[in-house]
Amino acid sequence: MTAPATSNFYRLHPRVQQWIASKKWPSLREIQELAIPPILAGDKDVIITAATAQGKTEAAFLPVFSQLVDQPAKGIQVIGLGPLKALINDQHRRLSAIGDCLDVPVCPWHGDIGSGPKQRLLKQPAGVLLITPESLEALFVLRGQELNRLFASLSYIVIDEMHSFISIERGRQLQSLMQRVEQVVGRPVPRIGLSATLGDMSLAAEFLRPGQQERVQLVQSFAKGDELKLQLRGYRSSPTPDPDEEEDETTPPPDALDIAQHLFQSLRGEKNLIFINSRRQVERYADILRNLSAEYRVPNEFMPHHGSLSKELRAEAEEALKRDHPVNVICTMTLEMGIDVGAVQSIAQIGPPSSVASTRQRLGRSGRRAGDPAIMRVYVSVPQLDSYTSPEQALYPDLVQAIAIINLLLEGWYEPPIAGRLHISTLIQQLLSSIAQQGGIRADQAWHDFCEAGPFQEMEQGLFIKLLRCLGERDLIQQSQDGLLLLGLKGERLVNHYTFYTAFSTTEEYRISTPENVLGTLPTSMPIAEEMVLLFAGRRWQVQSVDSEKQVVMVVPADGEGQAPRFGGSSGFVHDRVRQTMREIYRSTDMPVYLDDTAKTLLKEARTQFRDCGLDQEYIVGEDEQVLLFPWRGSLVMNTLQMLLLDSGLKASQEGLAIKVKGVEPDELMPYFQSLVNLGPANPLRLADVVRTKRSEKYDWVLTDELLNHNYVARFFDPQGTWETVSEICSGG
């Protein structure tokens, strides 16, 4: 490699320079050049953000390794935190290639790693530790007294795929763990966050170092990838099913067969990723495509990949992508993040993308080789219009949402992190973990560490005191005569259970096995009976036996028609900007150039339906003694507005883009909305009393109604945005 004299390459340690030269890189990438000075300085936290495949991992670790070689020390010097075991395994492979040349050990640590490497690290701590938040939590609980020895020489904390942690329980757990690591070593440790999708950099900086954004330096590359080839293909599904008739789950609908046929013809012979938003649909399409391969008498090149498959089956698909053979992996978000699966020719997305940020992540998997275009095909089905089709579904919302997300992607906009959530459930976990680690903690110290100076700064002191009382009443904690908070009997049982280390709820699952291998897991909530034929792991299996006590389902290969399991899961969060962009698309006459002929026809039909319903002028559509309200807002406003309507005694339910209100006429709603405008933004805590199902996080069962209301409001309500929306509806804006 020939670098100009001004290149930051020469600031790296000579041995790191030699390793780079051995790889015959033509030069450092822009993001790698920019990241070297602030990371070597070590006096600030750093966020590294760039497009996918721009070398963010190397941007962080080349200067980190330089520092480790230049200043060797006993003890773990770097903690690398990642969201997925598979991602940590992949990072271990990549970073070990550098570490081995520099005599810097790199150790992966998670639930699938054997005890040997872990014991060696505990005896001789050194180098880089790659770990999940859950495994780091376990270290705090089980080896709290050893942490000072392990982390005494800690120089950096690196967070990979940082966007995947922001605004969720695991993210708040991660923030707390980083804070607790610094308390163990008695000093701030530079934090480095890596991400390709961050919509608001100030909120990202707040996540990395809560309350101290001035400590965070942004390192951002605006280098763009090569050419983008994009197509959205439209399909008509079967007629809307009669609600009184049972759905046939064993016969694929015609639109699914048509989509699979196009995938089969377009992707065979190459290496591609096919993203679908649900595990159930992954199994359905894997089955259809396997059958097509058999029908055409060609090798099956289509493999499933999702979180319910065994680690061996997931690894098999990942390794197939790395080999120089054609393969198409049908996956959920499990392959969205930075696991290195080599270069793929294209990305396919079945169904509307869930968010702009995830679409950018997925698209970044394609076009990684210099000169290759990034290619993305999006497949969207809309219902055939008949007497059962609702006005909302006649707007083809899946199609228009897909167009809105693609347009926002092309504009360079991404969803910002969600701010203001309390995460009381995670605070409970962290408090219990800290008590277990230290053998006890004073209440005032806990308030300072977790809330006043820690990641739970949205928590008011009065609310924190009420939480401690609540935990005491539930026997999760108790207070000694000298004021120390200790674990209660129930608290000890919680902390000693293997599920404690996760901040999120986990479901009970069956293990699906053949006599030879474990295939994966299914939720126990799914009805499973002997002789049933299941679609799983891309094949058909007949259930031989169900052992409910051991939670094991034994299966054998089958040929009959089968059904894809229902895995559960929740609908995704939709941002206001996506819904507002959808409205602009309905109102516009512009036709996106990336639509195929069918999609263009469907968009014209959706716009005609939009105008025929009067939605180009109004927000409310009357329909058979009920109205449909279209606020054109995202999840928070929709949820708040629905609760306002229910609080007034109206029968309101969410129906996709709309809120359905039964038993009223359109002109009856407007005076009610005007009264809401006159009253100003609603009191969210009083409104939360309307909600009967407020438990959504792991330890919500512990909370009093008052604490539940505070937690729910911070997570699911937007009173100000809702008031502004109702004002807009009343003004006809």
DSSP E strand stretches across 507-650? 509-513, 518-523, 533-536, 539-547, 552-557, 620-622, 626-629
pLDDT(494) > 90? yes
Q: What is the pLDDT of residue 251?
A: 84
Residues making up the chain, counted from first to last: 733
Q: What does the alpha-carbon distance between residue 638 and residue 630 come to, in Å, rounded to a whole number?
A: 9
Domain for residue 321, yes or no?
Answer: yes
Kindly state whether residues 79 and 148 are assigned to the same domain: yes
Q: What is the pLDDT of residue 367?
A: 77
Q: How much is the average pLDDT of 310-316?
A: 91
| Span 455-474, pLDDT tens digits | 999 999 999 999 999 999 99
Of 151-165, 180-194, 499-513, the poorest mean pLDDT is in 499-513
CATH code at 37? 3.40.50.300
Is residue 529 classed as helix, strand or coil in its secondary structure? coil
Helix residue ranges per DSSP H, 497-647: 576-587, 597-612, 635-647
Q: What is the pLDDT of residue 570?
A: 59
**Burial of 455 by CB count in 10 Å (0-12 exposed, 13-18 middle, 19+ buried)?**
buried
Kindly state whether residues 147 and 258 are assigned to the same domain: no
Domain for residue 579, yes or no?
Answer: no
Kindly state whether residues 251 and 176 are assigned to the same domain: no
Domain for residue 496, yes or no?
Answer: yes
| Span 216-244, pLDDT tens digits | 999 998 765 568 899 999 999 876 555 55
CB-based contact 63:142 (threshold 8 Å): no
Is residue 653 classed as helix, strand or coil in its secondary structure? strand
CA distances from 220 to 189, 203, 340, 373, 448 (A): 21, 15, 22, 22, 33
CB-based contact 118:109 (threshold 8 Å): yes
Chain Cα centroid distance, residue 630: 27
pLDDT(496) > 60? yes
Greater model confidence, 339 or 194: 194
* Amino acid sitting at position 75: G
CATH code at 452? 1.10.10.10
Q: What does the alpha-carbon distance between residue 637 and residue 687 come to, in Å, rounded to a whole number?
A: 13
What is the b/e burial string over 129-166, where b = at least 16 CB atoms within 10 angstroms of the residue's CB?
bbbbbbbbbbbbbeebeebeebbbbbbbbbbbbbbbbb
Domain boundary among 175, 203, 220: 220
Q: What is the pLDDT of residue 512?
A: 95
Block residue for tokens 């033509």: 26
Q: How much is the average pLDDT of 172-182?
A: 97
Q: What is the pLDDT of residue 324?
A: 86
Kindly state whether residues 248 and 358 are assigned to the same domain: yes
Domain boundary among 501, 519, 546: 501
Chain Cα centroid distance, residue 166: 9
Of the candidates 107, 582, 553, which has an alpha carbon nearest to the alpha carbon of residue 392?
A: 582
pLDDT(143) > 70? yes
Kindly state whether residues 84 and 138 are assigned to the same domain: yes
Kindly state whether residues 99 and 206 are assigned to the same domain: yes
Domain for residue 568, yes or no?
Answer: no
Block residue for tokens 């009959």: 560
Kindly state whether residues 462 and 406 are assigned to the same domain: no
Kindly state whether residues 215 and 235 are assigned to the same domain: no
Q: What is the radius of gyration, based on Cα positions, of the chain?
A: 27
Domain boundary among 169, 203, 220: 220
Q: What does the alpha-carbon distance between residue 637 and residue 668 come to, in Å, rounded to a whole number?
A: 21
Kindly state whether residues 24 and 102 are assigned to the same domain: yes
Other CB atoms within a 10 A radius of the CB of residue 667 amount to 10
Domain count of the fold of the chain: 5
Domain for residue 58, yes or no?
Answer: yes
* Average confidence score pLDDT of the chain: 92
Q: What is the pLDDT of residue 525?
A: 77
Kindly state whether residues 325 and 470 are assigned to the same domain: no
| Span 25-53, pLDDT tens digits | 888 999 999 999 999 999 999 999 987 77
Domain for residue 610, yes or no?
Answer: no
Residue 238, CB half-sphere, CA atoms under 13 Å: how many? 10
Domain for residue 210, yes or no?
Answer: yes
Kindly state whether residues 320 and 243 are assigned to the same domain: yes
Q: What does the alpha-carbon distance between residue 153 and residue 76 come to, in Å, rounded to a whole number?
A: 6
| Span 237-268, pLDDT tens digits | 876 555 555 555 678 899 999 999 999 999 99
Domain with 695 in it: 618-731
**Burial of 243 by CB count in 10 Å (0-12 exposed, 13-18 middle, 19+ buried)?**
exposed
Kindly state whether residues 392 and 458 are assigned to the same domain: no
Q: What does the alpha-carbon distance between residue 191 and residue 158 come to, in Å, rounded to a whole number?
A: 6
CB-based contact 391:628 (threshold 8 Å): yes
CB-based contact 158:125 (threshold 8 Å): no
Q: Determine what percent of the chain is predicted with pLDDT higher than 90.
A: 73
Domain for residue 602, yes or no?
Answer: no
Q: What is the pLDDT of residue 418?
A: 85
